[in-house]
A and B are shown apart, each in its own frame.
Chain A
């Protein structure tokens, strides 16, 4: 299914740290990823797992964070570029779809002007009439009915689904090669969600762009992704193609997440609850397996001292050795199951 294509983005040993008090704490800790053209890579995890911090690092949207490692986009390192340089790329060659369409749009500006703004920033020769014409074309492209009217409306006059389409129209205005979608459908109803996902898929094929999809919704991942990275406490704990991840999940965290989604074949009548809470940035255990404290019934000896990502089959990486012995507390050790099949 996946055709060999060019690498668009390569992240190597990315560490993004935030300063709290006198010290820096890594919210993204040694993350390496790769994205090809026309590929959808999903990053999954709970709030606080570092998935959005990773995306913001790529887009250069962090203020005052310490970013280490390499982010190579189309052959050039874009980590820590000064604003004047990143501004030329951002919004043009790569762009982002934000979660909440109401806060992502300026409430005091007509839709047409907000789209026109990104067009003007990256192409100062475009005339006002031309920009308006192209804005209408874009609105039409993202499936907004009567775009010639909507172009003069304000965000509050549109429904949530329509606003999200406007946000997408702005993101694709300059035909980006890299599109980062941060929880693009979390605020939307299911039928609208299905439409927005279809739209992102279509646009990706049209522009041949790579998409990074950040979400905590495993259903959305199963529908959209080619490959999936599961993040926990700033690290990637499992990286695999979408089929392997859902059919043959390995890391205890991935398995736990899958069994906590209600009304799926992974779930029991009683949903699985991951014990404890996601540790805060300052209290992250930096040594040993970070998921250790969430699975206290497992023997300490199953963890690696310095957990690494192991490639257990081509393209399928799992962190730490604890996955080999993992079982849920409600099932006995003898009847361990591996995945759903």
Chain B
């Protein structure tokens, strides 16, 4: 059984206008997304800004209203009845993009990391302090940092405080929304290594949302590519990077800068070629509204949004 199952998820935001402020149209941020995340894997959700990847992540956290579709966590239906939401926030935690704005600048590290305990567990001050120090050591910060404030830490250290808070209640699933895009490469390396360690340690499942394909390739076992609220392709890392089938994925993979300057011209002409193919075959891969078709399996692991044939 999958740890997380998202089935035909739709999230539409109304556009209001006119004199009575009536709903005149919808923004279809997520428009029929289905995927499963297995226990222990790192699943990558990729797409450009506006593709709906963050909205999907937030919906799983219960931070967005769901228009239609179902989300199951360990088989429990999360959005079963109106007004009666199942609270999984204990088991599902989030790591945010910007370590500068996701930590309250007026709170001490102790209060930041202890907040989940205070919400969900009854602990004495002493137990709480012990737990927080243990977590700090786990994320590689010294345990005497408890009385410091966020501004006393570097970007990478702050991101690790965010991780400490996220793993405080021993969650089963972590949703990491662009966790390293605000960091320098060497700090990024530190946080990525660390996420891998902590995943092994705690047997975590990670839903990794990012737009940087290099980071995704490094971290994820399986990857889903989103475009305008829909999946265009889903597969194992090798499927996506070595055998991209959808023209959009091909273009995305071709756009990754090549770190070998000797292949510069070759890479540029390849990219121009893919771009041309993209423009010519856009109508074959997308429907009349410019949206992706539904996913069809190509192999056991690889699904592509190809049009119906014949």
Contact = CB atoms under 8 A, between A and B. Distances in A.
Contacts of B257: 193-194, 217, 219-220, 222-223
B214 A273 contact: no
Contact of A257 (B50, B185, B192, B255): B185
Interface in A243-272: 243, 246-247, 256-258, 260-267, 270-272
B185 A194 contact: no
A81 interface: no
Nearest to B267: A223
Contacts of B50: 159
A273 B186 contact: yes
B213 to A, nearest CB: 6
Contacts of A274: 186, 189
Contact of A222 (B187, B218, B259): B259
B261 interface: yes
A247 B262 contact: yes
Nearest to B212: A190
B193 A273 contact: yes
Given A194-B271, A262-B214, A262-B215, A222 B261 contact: yes
A233 to B, nearest CB: 13
A246 B260 contact: yes
Contacts of A261: 185, 189, 214, 259
Interface string A262-302: 11111100111110011000000000000000000000000
Contacts of B193: 270-271, 273
A191 interface: yes
Contact of A160 (B49, B154, B188): B49
Nearest to A253: B186
A189 interface: yes
Contact of B192 (A193, A222, A271): A271
A269 to B, nearest CB: 8
B278 to A, nearest CB: 9
Chain A CB count within 10 A is highest, among B189, B190, B258, for: B189
B184 A46 contact: yes
B259 A266 contact: yes
A338 interface: no
B264 A257 contact: no
A262 B261 contact: no
A218 interface: yes
A191 B185 contact: no
A283 to B, nearest CB: 13
Given A218-B185, A260-B186, A263-B218, A246 B49 contact: no
A222 B260 contact: yes
B160 interface: no
Interface residues of B, number: 37
A219 B116 CA distance: 39
Contacts of B226: none
A253 B134 CA distance: 33
A262 B259 contact: no
Interface in A193-224: 193-194, 216-220, 222-223
B116 to A, nearest CB: 27
Interface in B240-266: 251-252, 255-262, 264
Contact of B211 (A190, A194, A265): A190
Nearest to B257: A219
A138 interface: no
A304 to B, nearest CB: 24
A198 to B, nearest CB: 8
B48 interface: yes
Interface string A35-54: 00000000000110000000
A190 B258 contact: no
Most B CB within 10 A of own CB, among A223, A243, A247: A223
A261 B212 CA distance: 11
B102 to A, nearest CB: 18
Contacts of B131: none
Contacts of A191: 48, 251-252, 255
A257 B186 CA distance: 6
A262 B192 contact: yes
B262 to A, nearest CB: 6
A138 to B, nearest CB: 23
B217 interface: yes
Given A46-B184, A260-B188, A273-B190, A246 B261 contact: yes
Given A246-B262, A265-B259, 19 more contacts: A46-B185, A189-B211, A190-B256, A191-B252, A194-B255, A216-B185, A218-B259, A219-B258, A219-B259, A222-B260, A223-B257, A246-B260, A260-B186, A260-B188, A261-B185, A261-B259, A262-B189, A271-B193, A271-B218
Interface of A: 46-47, 159-160, 189-194, 216-220, 222-223, 225, 242-243, 246-247, 256-258, 260-267, 270-274, 277-278
Closest 8 CB pairs of A and B: A219-B257, A262-B218, A271-B189, A260-B189, A263-B217, A189-B48, A190-B255, A46-B184
